[in-house]
Amino acid sequence: MANGMKRTALTAAWVVGHADGQHCLYRNGTVVVEGEKVLYVGHDFDGEVAETIDFGEAVIGPGFIDLDALADLDTTVLSYDNHPPELKGRVWPESYMRAGPREMYSPDELAFQKRYAFTRLIRNGITTALPIASLFYRAWGETAEEFDAAADAAADLGLRVYLGPAYRSGNLVVNAERQIGFHYDEARGFQGLADAEAFITRHENTHGGLIRTMLAPDRIETCTPDLLARSGAAARAHNVPIRLHCCQSRLEYDLVLQQHGKSPLELLRDTAFFAPATILPHGLFLSGVNGITHDAPDHDILCQSGAALVHCPLVMARGGKVMQSFPRFRDLGVTIGMGTDTHPADMIQNMAIGVMTARIAEGNATCVSAADFYNAATLGGAEALNRPDLGRLVPGAAADLNVIRLDNPDIGQRIDPIQTLLLNGSGRDVSDVMIAGRFVMRDGIIPGVDEGEYHRRAQAQFDGMVAQYPDRTLFHPPVEEIFPTSYPLG
Ligand SMILES: [Zn+2]
C-alpha cells in the first residue's frame, strides 16, 4: 500500500454511504478505512486491503453525534414520577443555599461518573459527544480538574468529544413559602468563564484532534446578560462551539421575560451571544408555541442567528413536552441536531420517539420520515459543529462509524434498514463502534472496561448521592418521602 497505512475493508448487508449531499444505501456494501479516515464506500473495492471484516446481516452507518450527551449517572430516574421539582430536591432551598452549597461527589466520583457515561455513549453507537451533566449536585459549576480527567477518559476510550466545564452566575432557590427566586453571584460566573477559557487553551485539538473544546454556559436563566455577552465574545475569539440551554421550559421563558423584559432569544440577540457554532438545547418554548402567548420575533431571530437546535425528544416526552415542531424548524432551514441528554443514551430510541412526537405535534403522519431523524443524528450534528468531515461515510471523512445488528429476532421483518431501526431497533443492537479508524467497541466489548464492575460502582455512587437528598430538599423530608415507591411496600 502506497503510504504504508493499514487498510481495512468492512462489509455488511447494508452500508449507509453519502453522495450528492445526502445519505445513500448500498446493499451488500463495503467501507474501506485507511488510518483515521474513510478511503472508499461502495460495492466493490479493487485495491489491496490488509483485512476484511464481514458483519453479515447488519447496517454500517456513520457514528451518531450527540450534542447533549449525558456525562452523569442517571438522575432523571429521580424525576420520572416525583414532582414538583421544588419539593423533590431539584431546586435548592434557601436554607441549603445559606449554609453554603457543597459538592455531593468526590473528585474520584466525578472522574468515574464521566468515564462510566462515556462507555454508555459508545455502547449506543455515539462517536462524537458534547457532554452534559446536572449541576444540582455541585457546589456551583463544573471544575476544570474534572474536565482534565474527562479528557483523559475520552482519549483512553477513544471517544471524540467537545469538552468544556459548565459555568453560571445564578441559581434557582426556593423559600419556605415555596416561592422560587434567584441567587446571583456574578463574580463566580466570570471566574467560571475564565477557567473554561484556560481549559480551551490546554486541551483544544489534542490527542490527534479527538479532544476538542467548547464553552458551556449552563442555562440562559442562570447567566447574567454580561456573562452571556462575554461568553459569546470568547466563543468567537477562540473559535469554539458554544452551547447554552435555552427555550427549554415555560419557567425559563417567564423568568427571562420578567427579569429582562425580553424573550430568551431576544436576550441572546441583544447581548451579541451568537457565534459561528451556537448550539441551543432544546427549542421548545418560543413565541406562539407551547403556550407562550408573548409576542416576540423568536423564530426570525433563530433563523438569522444560524444557531443549531438540539432536539432531545425522549427526555422531553418523559416530562410531557414536545417540540412544536421538528418539521416546522426543518422547513425554516434551522439546523437540527440530536441529543440524548438522559439515560439510556439511546439515539435509536430518541429518533423513534422524535418521529412519533413530531407526527403528534403536527397531527400528520407524513410530516417527518425516519430519514429526517437519521439525518439529524448524523448530518445535523456535523453541521452544528461546522464539521463536514463527520456524520457521513464518504472518502476523506473521519472513520467514525457504528455497526447495528439486523439479525436479532426482536427486529422483526425488514425492507429498509433505517425504517426498521426506528421501528424495532434499540441502542442494544449496536455491536461495533469505530472512531478515527480505531475500534472502540468490538462485538459488544469495550476494551479494558469491566461493565459489571462499572454498573455496581455507579449504583453505589448513586445510592450515596440519593442519601444526601434530604439535606438539599425543602423542609428536609426523609428519602422515602421524596422518592416513594410506585406501590406501598408489603
Ligand atoms: Zn438538556
Ligand 1 center–CA 412 separation, angstroms? 33
Partnered with residue 434 across adjacent β-strands are 401, 439
Which segments of 179-221 does DSSP mark as H helices, in order? Answer: 186-203
Ligand 1 center–CA 211 separation, angstroms? 21
Ligand 1 center–CA 40 separation, angstroms? 36
Contacts of 448 (CB under 8 A, 6+ apart): 156
Ligand 1 center–CA 132 separation, angstroms? 7
Mean pLDDT over 154-158 rounds to 98
Ligand 1 center–CA 44 separation, angstroms? 42
Ligand 1 center–CA 260 separation, angstroms? 23
Residue 305, amino acid: S
Contacts of 479 (CB under 8 A, 6+ apart): 466, 467, 469, 470
DSSP annotation string for 112-166:
HHHHHHHHHHHHTTEEEEEEE--STTSSSS--HHHHHHHHHHHHHHT-EEEE--E
Ligand 1 center–CA 475 separation, angstroms? 28
DSSP class of residue 376 equals: I
pLDDT cut 90: percent of the chain above it: 93
Ligand 1 center–CA 31 separation, angstroms? 34
Nine-digit cell string for 229: 455577552
Residue 333 has pLDDT above 80, yes or no: yes
Mean pLDDT over 328-333 rounds to 98
Convert the pLDDT of each residue in 187-232 to its tens digit.
999 999 999 999 999 999 999 999 999 999 999 999 999 999 999 9
Asked whether 421 and 405 are in contact (CB, 8 A), the reply is no
In CATH terms, the fold of domain 1-63+391-445 is Urease, subunit C; domain 1 (2.30.40)
DSSP class of residue 22 equals: E
Ligand 1 center–CA 323 separation, angstroms? 13
Asked whether 393 and 38 are in contact (CB, 8 A), the reply is yes
| Long-range CB contacts (within 8 A, 24+) of 343-346 | 343/70, 343/73, 343/74, 343/76, 343/77, 343/120, 344/120, 344/124, 344/427, 345/66, 345/69, 345/70, 345/117, 345/120, 345/121, 345/123, 345/124, 345/126, 345/427, 346/124, 346/314, 346/426, 346/427, 346/428
CATH 3.20.20.140 residue ranges of the chain are 64-389
Convert the pLDDT of each residue in 236-272 to its tens digit.
999 999 999 999 999 999 999 999 999 999 999 999 9
Mean pLDDT over 401-408 rounds to 97
Convert the pLDDT of each residue in 173-184 to its tens digit.
999 999 998 899
Ligand 1 center–CA 341 separation, angstroms? 5
Rounded Cα distance between 89 and 46, Å, is 61
Mean pLDDT over 444-458 rounds to 97
Ligand 1 center–CA 454 separation, angstroms? 24
Ligand 1 center–CA 207 separation, angstroms? 27
Ligand 1 center–CA 164 separation, angstroms? 15
Asked whether 482 and 121 are in contact (CB, 8 A), the reply is no
The confidence band for 1, taking pLDDT boundaries of 50, 70 and 90, is very low
Ligand 1 center–CA 401 separation, angstroms? 25
Integer-rounded Cα radius of gyration of the chain: 22
Residue 147 has pLDDT above 50, yes or no: yes
Ligand 1 center–CA 282 separation, angstroms? 7
Nine-digit cell string for 219: 442555562
Residue 4 has pLDDT above 70, yes or no: no
Ligand 1 center–CA 151 separation, angstroms? 21
Ligand 1 center–CA 47 separation, angstroms? 45
Residue of 100, 108, 186 lying closest to 138 (CA atoms): 100
Residue 74 has pLDDT above 90, yes or no: no
The confidence band for 3, taking pLDDT boundaries of 50, 70 and 90, is low
The confidence band for 77, taking pLDDT boundaries of 50, 70 and 90, is confident
Residue 5 has pLDDT above 90, yes or no: no
pLDDT of residue 208: 96
Ligand 1 center–CA 310 separation, angstroms? 8
Mean pLDDT of the residues in the chain: 96
Which helix (DSSP H) or strand (DSSP E) does residue 441 occupy?
strand 438-441
Asked whether 76 and 32 are in contact (CB, 8 A), the reply is no
Ligand 1 center–CA 69 separation, angstroms? 8
Convert the pLDDT of each residue in 58-71 to its tens digit.
999 999 999 999 99
DSSP class of residue 399 equals: -
Contacts of 487 (CB under 8 A, 6+ apart): none
Ligand 1 center–CA 65 separation, angstroms? 15
Ligand 1 center–CA 175 separation, angstroms? 26
Ligand 1 center–CA 457 separation, angstroms? 25
Ligand 1 center–CA 191 separation, angstroms? 23
Dihedral, CA atoms, 406, 407, 409, 413, nearest 10 degrees? 50
Ligand 1 center–CA 110 separation, angstroms? 19
The confidence band for 136, taking pLDDT boundaries of 50, 70 and 90, is confident
CATH 2.30.40.10 residue ranges of the chain are 1-63+391-445
Partnered with residue 69 across adjacent β-strands are 131
Ligand 1 center–CA 102 separation, angstroms? 23
Q: How many CB atoms lie within 10 A of CB 70?
A: 27
Residue 472 has pLDDT above 50, yes or no: yes
Rounded Cα distance between 125 and 132, Å, is 17
pLDDT of residue 428: 97
Ligand 1 center–CA 222 separation, angstroms? 14
Ligand 1 center–CA 340 separation, angstroms? 8
pLDDT of residue 63: 98
Ligand 1 center–CA 409 separation, angstroms? 34
Residues 64-389: name the CATH superfamily. Answer: Metal-dependent hydrolases (3.20.20.140)
DSSP annotation string for 234-246:
HHHHHT--EE-BB
